[in-house]
Chains A and B, each alone.
Chain A
Amino acid sequence: AQSVTQLDSQVPVFEEAPVELRCNYSSSVSVYLFWYVQYPNQGLQLLLKYLSGSTLVKGINGFEAEFNKSQTSFHLRKPSVHISDTAEYFCAVKSGGSNYKLTFGKGTLLTVNP
């Protein structure tokens, strides 16, 4: 079985500050990892994904994430946030092979204050 833990339910930061949103996963097989963003009253949009290869993955809007197999983590980072980054962020895992199912964490609400 696969599972995802997002360690912080809310993260408030000031504009232009760096931010890290933490995600840990568990799976008995190889995994694909995703970060999705949900802006208020909207659907989910893919930020970035890790499939294989380089452990540092760059996504849209200046976000990046690092896959750490030994720590089973996939933390999301941005060096300088903007007000427009205020949203809920979801980490998700899918086991490798023929599996379709995507398992989500409970989400982290990032609030960027002026």
Chain B
Amino acid sequence: NAGVTQTPKFQVLKTGQSMTLQCAQDMNHEYMSWYRQDPGMGLRLIHYSVGAGITDQGEVPNGYNVSRSTTEDFPLRLLSAAPSQTSVYFCASTQTPGGNEQFFGPGTRLTVL
């Protein structure tokens, strides 16, 4: 199993540009989520999905869109990038609710100029 994969690893955008961060998992997990990590802030939940066709907002959803057309994929779209979206983005997945651990991807480091 590849686990949770994310592409790209690094990205530089100009203000106003749009892009999609890709996330895929091969563990048949129901739940997938996107976090952003900023210094001194820990990880904050952006959006999450409990299954194909079902998504919901997390703690910091503004400026981001998601969709879940398949169990495996959960892309994160930046509609019009802003410098405040400079961050490291992590995708995670877990099998079921309860005590199962979340598995994290390696992250995407995004810089918005």
Contact = CB atoms under 8 A, between A and B. Distances in A.
A36 B94 CA distance: 15
Given A32-B98, A44-B90, A100 B48 contact: yes
A98 B100 CA distance: 12
B40 A100 contact: no
A49 B43 contact: no
Contact of A46 (B48, B101, B106): B101
Contacts of A107: 40, 42
Contact residues on A (Cβ < 8 Å of other chain), bracket: 20 to 34
Interface residues of B, number: 24
Nearest to A51: B99
Contact of B99 (A32, A44, A45, A105): A32
Contacts of B92: 44, 102
A43 B42 CA distance: 13
Interface string B93-113: 010011101101111000000
A90 interface: yes
Given A97-B97, A102-B102, A43 B107 contact: yes
Contact of B97 (A9, A42, A46, A99): A99
A51 B102 CA distance: 14
9 contacts: A32-B98, A34-B101, A43-B104, A44-B104, A97-B97, A102-B33, A102-B102, A104-B44, A106-B41
